[in-house]
Chains A and B, each alone.
Chain A
Amino acid sequence: MSVKAMNHAFKWLPTAALLALSLNQAVAAESFSPPPADAIPKNEFGDMVRKGQDYFLHTSQMLPDNVGNSLNCVNCHLDAGRRADSAPMWGAYVLYPAYRAKNGHVNSLAERLQGCFRFSMNGKAPAADSEAILAITTYMYWLASKAPTGVKLEGQGYRKLAAPAQTMDLERGKQVFMANCAVCHGQNGEGRQAAGKTVFPALWGDDSFNWGAGMHQIPNAAAFIKSNMPLGNPGTLTDQQAWDVAYFMNSHERPQDPRFTVDVETTRKKYHDGGDNLYGQKVNGIVLGENSVEPGGRLKDKAHPQKD
């Protein structure tokens, strides 16, 4: 190689290196880590981040007028909304505002959060300009620090499973549940408490999420379970077991869909018209949704205090 040619090569080397670097970055942009959990800034902004984090961890206790069950955000978004494949908050933050088929319009992040309160928490949404929504949004913004916007980051949402190899089966699902889940969530999915405090959340029944929540959809539940359960030792269930147990979990009654209109059949057609959506389907001789309690959980008792 002549000196001139070498010079020429060297001249281009930095450009090539830069190009390689930026290509690398383009690929790497898909994966993301939030700032360390204990690195919340010590200033006024950080105070609001902390507040949002606290709402996230103790939602039911701190927002008793908005949460109708005893669930907390962290029950479905593990590690304070930080964990990948557990619908982490940094993954969600960068995808809003977004069009949602669920309600047919572009949703702000605030409206999306309000949906969680209405459905997953079986409660009443805080106002979009309330301190709770501001704090949770601030916490999410901080978690997403330095993330690109409008990108589905690796670990966003729940990691989808391939369609089940065998048709989902209630009996198999029950066996998986009794063997792997009941010790924490109770034999009737009622969750567990200690000294009156909920430790393990209810998976169905009156104290769980209602029929409008995303977790009642079997693909969501199966994906969550596969990646995250049993807590502390995930990945020990096969895909088929995750599908079967998700099917079993969602074959039980839970509070009514707050969007309920006319009757279960009409509500199903309008909001639940999918193959494996069990709302309005007959399971073990019972049409799911027909015996649901009104949504709102403990908030209903507050609205109509019981006489002594």
Chain B
Amino acid sequence: MTYRTENTIRRRLLFACMAAASWTVHAADSGQIQQGSEIALEGASGQPACVSCHGAKGEGLPAAGYPYLAGQPAQYMIEQLAHFADGSRKQPIMQPMAKALSEEQRAAVAAYYASLPPVFDRGTLAHLVQTYPATDTGAWLAHRGSENPYIPACVQCHGPGGIGVEPVFPALAGQPEQYLKAQLTAMKSGDRGEDTHKLMTHLARNLSDEQIAQVSTYFATGVLKPVGNVEVQQKGEVK
């Protein structure tokens, strides 16, 4: 066999392997979601099913303060499960469950919940624009932030209306008030692991308890009130 032929075969083999690999990754997507749905519905490694607290469709259980997971960015959920598992996000119910799951299982369950439709209407909420909610402190923090201490508006990272932005900014709109409040408080005290570039662990320290309560109320309910709140007239077609 000449060197050249051998090389060609090698190249073809490499190509075949790459094609197979990319197919595997692709196939793993739906397989992963399937695997994730089984964990969510039936539990795994002796742990209870996710649905028992997070709802049949990942819609959460607001009365108990359990958050929705449906439609949250997969990477965000993978990171949170890792923080539960390594103990940096201190939450007695979630810690043992996340610990019991393998990395692969966590990725699968995150892929499953990311694939579910969110509890709110993304299209409608994305149009929510409030430029001057001067009478509602929570809304002001959400849409305008704070000047001193400096806190950018929540929607600048969490998206218009708090609908969430891939890959690491979770949706906030319609999460249980109790849950949002507990998360901001935990970020402030350092009990919620380290988020991307420590953005929130840094910002939460600048929030007063009163501001935490107000912004939590706003994202839990206020933001979902009909789009009668929209203040900027849409003059043009939105890109």
What is the interface of chain A, defined by CB distance below 8 A to chain B?
37-38, 40, 50, 53-54, 57-58, 60-65, 70, 78-80, 82-83, 180, 183-184, 192, 194-200, 230-233, 236, 298
B140 in the interface (beta carbon within 8 A): yes
Q: A40-B132, A54-B232, A62-B232 in contact; A233/B203 too (CB < 8 A)? A: yes
Q: Are B129 and A195 in contact (CB under 8 A)?
A: no
Please count the residue pairs between chain A and chain B whose beta carbons lie under 8 angstroms apart in the complex. Answer: 106
What bracket does the count of chain B residues touching chain A fall in?
Answer: 35 or more
Q: Across the interface, do B235 and A64 meet the contact criterion of CB distance under 8 Å?
A: yes
B159 and A197 within 8 A (CB): yes
* Residues of chain B with a CB closer than 8 A to A200's CB: 165
Query: What are 17 contact pairs spanning A and B, CB under 8 A?
Result: A38-B134, A60-B239, A61-B232, A61-B236, A64-B236, A64-B237, A65-B236, A80-B144, A83-B150, A194-B122, A195-B125, A195-B126, A195-B159, A196-B238, A198-B239, A232-B203, A233-B199
Of B156, B163, B197, B232, the contact of A58 (CB 8 Å cutoff): B232
Provide the bound-state CA to CA distance between A80 and B134, in Å.
Answer: 14
CA gap between A63 and B132 in the complex, in Å: 19
| Chain B residues whose C-beta falls within 8 Å of the C-beta of A183 in the assembled complex | 167-168, 196-197
Whether the Cβ atoms of B198 and A231 lie closer than 8 Å is: no
Query: Once bound together, how far apart are the Cα atoms of A196 and B144, in whole Å?
Result: 21
Q: Which residue of A57, A61, A199, A230 is within 8 Å of B197 (Cβ)?
A: A230
Distance A232 CA – B156 CA, assembled complex (angstroms): 10
Interface residues of B in 178-201 (CB under 8 A from A): 196-200
Contact A196 B126 (CB under 8 A): yes
Given A183-B167, A195-B159, verify A230-B131 contact (CB < 8 Å).
no
CA distance A237 to B163 in the complex (A): 29
Please report the C-alpha to C-alpha distance between residue A194 and residue B60 in the assembled complex, in whole angstroms: 22
Residues of A within 8 A of B239 (CB): 60-61, 70, 196, 198, 298
Which residues in chain B, 187-232, are within 8 Å of chain A measured between CB atoms? Answer: 196-200, 202-203, 231-232
B166 CB contacts on chain A under 8 angstroms: 192, 194
> Which of A58, A61, A184, A233 is close to B198, meaning CB atoms less than 8 Å apart?
A233
Interface of A is mostly: mixed
| Chain B residues in 8 Å Cβ range of A195 | 122-123, 125-126, 159-160, 163
Contact check, A79 vs B157: say whether CB atoms are below 8 A apart: no
B43 at the interface (CB under 8 A from A): no
- Cβ A231 vs Cβ B131 within 8 A: no
Beta-carbon contact of B126 and A184 below 8 Å: no
Asked if B156 contacts A199 (CB within 8 A), the reply is yes
State the CA gap A9–B151 with chains docked (Å): 50
- The reply to whether A37 and B197 contact each other, CB–CB distance below 8 Å, is no
Q: Is the CB of B147 within 8 A of A79?
A: yes
A60 to B166, CA, bound (A): 22
Q: How far is the CA of A63 from the CA of B232 in the complex (A)?
A: 12
* B234 part of interface (Cβ distance < 8 Å): yes
User: Once the chains are docked, how many angstroms separate the CA of A54 from the CA of B143?
Assistant: 12
Beyond the given A37-B147, A53-B131, A63-B236, could you list 4 further A-B residue pairs with CB under 8 A, ordered by the A residue number? A58-B131, A197-B159, A230-B199, A231-B157
Please state if A232 and B151 are interface contacts (CB–CB under 8 Å).
yes
Contacts of B150 in A (CB 8 A): 79, 83
Contact of B131 among A57, A83, A194, A232 (CB under 8 A): A57
Provide the bound-state CA to CA distance between A57 and B231, in Å.
Answer: 12
Residues of chain A within 8 A of B174, CB atoms compared: none
| Residue B164 interfacial (CB < 8 Å) | yes
Chain A residues whose C-beta falls within 8 Å of the C-beta of B231 in the assembled complex = 54
Q: How far is the CA of A232 from the CA of B158 in the complex (A)?
A: 13
B-chain residues with CB within 8 Å of residue A63 when the two chains form the complex: 235-236
Give the shortest distance, in Å, between B123 (CB) and chain A (any CB). 6
Report the separation of the CA atoms of residues A50 and B134 in the bound assembly, to the nearest whole angstrom. 12
Q: How far is the CA of A232 from the CA of B122 in the complex (A)?
A: 25
Task: Please give, as numbers and ranges, the residues of chain B lying within 8 Å of A78 by CB-CB distance.
Answer: 152
The residue from A37, A54, A184, A233 contacting B202, defined by CB atoms under 8 A apart: A233
